[in-house]
Amino acid sequence: MLDVLIVDDSAAIRKILQRVLRQTEIPIGTVYEAGDGVEALETLRKQAVGLVLSDINMPNMDGLEFLTKLRAEQLWHGIPVLMVSTEGTQAKVLEAVERGASGYVRKPFTAEQIKEKLVGLI
Amino acid sequence: MTTEFEAVQPIAQDELAQAIRSATDEVFATMLNLTVQPGEVFVEKEEAVPTSGVVSLIGLAGSWVGSGSLACSAGFAAKLASALLMTPYDSINEDVLDAVAEITNMIIGNVKTALESRLGSMGLSTPTVIYGRNFQTRSTGNQEWTVVPFTIDGDHMCVQLCIVPNSEAARKTTRTGFPIPHLLRNS
């Protein structure tokens, strides 16, 4: 079973992403939620997960800073991280990839787009 | 004499309106499975009048600064949340306000992305959602808002944007606010 961490300041998006995850053929275990990068790092220190889905624009610590801190830890280095954000410019996508993002989906998204990206990551 | 202000190219209302229409259409079709019918675009100065309903506001900052917002009735906000979350809502609660905030975030975020190739990089604030009756809004400055009304299955909402070059904003020390859409005045 794959435990997942969803990081987004919108409870609505966290709920939608959790629903999409449950619709995939990937055996999903526990889905943890965090409202920003600070909460996400706290969660990762307590729980081992096999996949992270993260927004970029969030209060306290945004998704790019969270991604940088996550990749800096050897323990978390291999966790696939899919960025899901309204930020859609090529520059922002490249920045996320340079910081260690495994994939990028722009909001608005369809369930199929998320599923396709996950198949390539898991 | 050439100044930094004079070098800034203005952005046409038509370009702003098209970016709003395109982003709104995409968000509603993709995330809500709803078709929006855009109405006639109008420009409005900020003003302070009583209103009611739900207003979701997001700030933009960077090479240009401003605000974008979505405004609708409480009943339509509940319908939007129901469509987004696939859960029935018939009144305003935390889930509904969060859903409206996220829809606004996606629309204004995509408007920002569309404009950034011409206006330069900008950042988005997190959304602020206001719900109530007879509230007033006020802003200083003299900015114009591009207001795009939409009709969705007989319901109405407005998406609007006010954006000015950052140098001008700094010089006038103005803050953008948001107007009250005509559609909501009697709701």
Residue A4 has pLDDT above 90, yes or no: yes
Q: Are A10 and B113 in contact (CB < 8 Å)? A: no
- The pTM is what? 0.88
- Among A6, A8, A13, which would you mutate to test the B interface (most chain B Cβ atoms within 10 Å of its Cβ)? A13
Q: Where are the domains of chain A?
A: 2-121
**Assigned architecture for domain B37-184:** 3-Layer(aba) Sandwich (3.40)
The verdict on A107 touching B (C-beta cutoff 8 Å) is yes
Q: Which residue of A has its CA nearest to B95?
A: A12
Give me the mean pLDDT over the A53-66 stretch.
96
Check CB contact under 8 Å for B30 and A86: no
Task: Give A89's pLDDT tier (boundaries 50, 70, 90).
Answer: confident
Give the nearest chain A residue to B58 (CA atoms): A57
CB–CB of B61/B123 below 8 Å? yes
**Cβ(B55)–Cβ(B100) under 8 Å?**
no
pLDDT value for B142: 65
Are B178 and B68 in contact, with CB atoms under 8 Å apart? Answer: no
pLDDT surpassing 60 at residue B156: yes
ipTM for the predicted complex: 0.91
> Which CATH architecture best describes the domain A2-121?
3-Layer(aba) Sandwich (3.40)
Round to whole Å and give the CA distance between B32 and A118: 22
Q: What are φ and ψ of residue A51, in 5° steps?
A: -160, 140
Residue B12 exposure: Cα atoms within 13 Å on the Cβ side: 3
What is the reported pLDDT for A83? 97
Please name the member of A10, A87, A88 whose beta carbon is closest to the beta carbon of B102.
A10
DSSP B118: H
Q: Which residue of chain B is at minimal alpha-carbon distance from A113? A: B30
Measured between beta carbons, the chain A residues lying within 8 angstroms of B113 are 86-89
- Full DSSP string of B36-105: -EE---EEEE-----EEEEEEEEEEEESEEEEEEEEE-HHHHHHHHHHHHTS---S--HHHHHHHHHHHH
Closest-CA residue of chain A to B26: A108
Measured in whole angstroms, the distance separating CA B61 from the mean position of its chain's CA atoms is: 14
Q: Is A107 close to B98, i.e. CB distance below 8 A?
A: no
Regarding beta strands A2-7 and A28-34, do their DSSP bridges make them parallel or antiparallel, or are they unpaired? parallel
Q: What is the DSSP letter of B30?
A: I
For residue B185 the two structure tokens come to 């005045």
What residue segments make up the domains of chain B, in order of their start? 37-184
Residue A88 and residue B109: Cβ atoms within 8 Å? yes
- Taking alpha carbons only, the member of B45, B76, B14, B53 closest to residue B138 is B45
Residue numbers of A between 16 and 55 with CB closer than 8 Å to B: 16, 19
- Residue A28: Cβ-neighbour burial (10 angstroms; 0-12, 13-18, 19+): middle
Band of the pLDDT at A106, cuts 50, 70, 90? Answer: very high
